[in-house]
């Protein structure tokens, strides 16, 4: 099963430390794994981008939906191997399908709020540059899902995220220096301009929402 797909989105290179561990990372979907690799710099050279290869199911049936993924750094060619534990059956990420990152209300356990905001910006920029209309719309929907993930780190009635929303020193510094970027009102405003995948509407409505509305 191929994880990575051809996409116009450039990989992020951010000052985050990559945890090197044999303990699997908990992922909600293969799409979340894909975004995690996209947002993670190389553990050896600090650059990237990391390019993912085949998804291999782990041998031990006791591990359930645990998969292994090997990624190669585009800068120094060093190889990183991760284990991910999926909360559902893996579904291939392909170029003509919309990603479903996380259909639950639980925040991500792999990517923190600052990383979701970085992915949101990347996807939005890529959507703006993409000339193919369906592809551009798909990127906009993915950008919206990245914002949805960021919004899961807020408590009701709180305009700033909780401490738990930051997994990395670099993210905490970014919050300290630019708290306004993390305002829930701001994120909701940005979200309101993006399309929604109709089948994922939280109120369970079944009417497709016209593009650009809401
Ligand atoms: Zn490298």
Whole-number Å distance, alpha carbon 160 to ligand 1 midpoint, is 34
Q: How far apart are CA 145 and CA 124, in angstroms?
A: 11
Residues whose CB falls within 8 Å of the CB of residue 191, separated by 6 or more in sequence, listed in order = 144, 147, 148, 151
In the predicted model, residues of the chain with pLDDT beneath 70 are 1-22, 58-64, 88-98, 197-214
- Calculate how far, in angstroms, residue 124's C-alpha sits from the geometric centre of ligand 1: 26
Evaluated on CA atoms 187, 189, 193, 195, the torsion sign reads: positive
Dist CA 104 CA 117 (whole Å): 19
Q: In angstroms, rounded to a whole number, what is the distance separating the alpha carbons of residues 134 and 200?
A: 18
79 CA distance to ligand 1 middle (Å): 8
Per-residue model confidence as pLDDT tens digits over 114-148: 999 999 999 999 999 999 998 999 899 999 999 99
* Gap from CA of 47 to ligand 1 centroid (Å): 5
Residue 126 Cα to ligand 1 midpoint, Å, equals 24
């Amino acid at each position: 099963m191929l994880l990575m797909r051809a996409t116009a989105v450039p990989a992020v290179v951010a000052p985050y430390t990559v945890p090197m561990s044999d303990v699997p990372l908990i992922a909600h979907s293969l799409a979340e794994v894909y975004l995690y690799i996209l947002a993670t710099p190389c553990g050896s050279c600090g650059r990237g981008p990391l390019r993912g290869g085949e998804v291999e199911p782990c041998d031990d049936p006791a591990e359930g939906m645990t998969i292994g993924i090997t990624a190669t750094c585009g800068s120094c060619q060093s190889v990183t191997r991760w284990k991910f534990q999926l909360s559902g059956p893996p579904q291939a990420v392909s170029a003509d399908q919309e990603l479903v990152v996380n259909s639950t209300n639980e925040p991500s356990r792999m990517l923190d709020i600052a990383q979701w905001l970085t992915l949101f910006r990347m996807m939005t920029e890529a959507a703006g540059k993409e000339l193919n209309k369906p592809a551009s719309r798909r990127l906009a929907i993915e950008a919206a899902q990245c914002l949805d993930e960021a919004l899961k780190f807020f408590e009701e009635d709180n305009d700033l995220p909780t401490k738990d929303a930051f997994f990395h020193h670099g993210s905490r510094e970014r919050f300290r220096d630019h708290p306004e970027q993390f305002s829930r009102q701001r994120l909701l405003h940005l979200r309101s301009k993006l399309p929604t995948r109709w089948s994922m509407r939280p109120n369970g409505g079944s009417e497709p929402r016209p593009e650009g509305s809401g």
